[in-house]
Amino acid sequence: MTPEQQRIAIAKACGEGHHHIRNFPDYLNDLNAMHQAEKVLRKVMKPSDNDTIIGDRMHDYAEHINYAFDATAAQRAEAFLKTLNLFQPNQKQ
C-alpha cells in the first residue's frame, strides 16, 4: 500500500472517511495520531480476539514493528492495518 492508501484506510477504520484526505491525520509520521487510532482497536476487538491478536498476528508482525515501545508511527500504522486485515502489500495506486 502507498502511504496515501494507508492514511485513507486508517482514517476510515477510525470513522473519519467523510473528510477529505488533506484533513486526515498524518498517521505514518505522527505518533500521537497513531496513539489515537490504536484506541479504535479496543472498540472493534472482542475480548476473545485478544488471544488471536497477541498469539498469532502480533507475533507474526513483530519483525515489522520491532518492539511496540520503539515502533515508529509508520510501523504502528502497518501493524494497525494488518491487525484489522486491511493491509494490502501489493496494492497499486
Cell numbers that stand for 37 in this block: 487510532
Q: Per the confidence metrics, is the pTM higher than 0.75?
A: no
Report the pLDDT value the prediction gives residue 65, as an integer from 0 to 100: 47
**DSSP class per residue in 6-73:** HHHHHHHHTT-TTS-GGGS--TTT-HHHHHHHHHHHHHH--TTHHHHIIIIIHHHHHHHHSSGGG--H
Q: What is the mean pLDDT of each run of 10 residues along the chain (93 residues)?
A: 94 87 92 93 68 54 58 92 90 55
Report the pLDDT value the prediction gives residue 86, as an integer from 0 to 100: 94
Report the pLDDT value the prediction gives residue 30, as an integer from 0 to 100: 97
Report the pLDDT value the prediction gives residue 60, as an integer from 0 to 100: 55
Cell numbers that stand for 66 in this block: 520491532
Report the pLDDT value the prediction gives residue 1, as an integer from 0 to 100: 92
Query: What contacts 9, CB < 8 A, 6 or more positions away?
Result: 1, 81, 86, 87
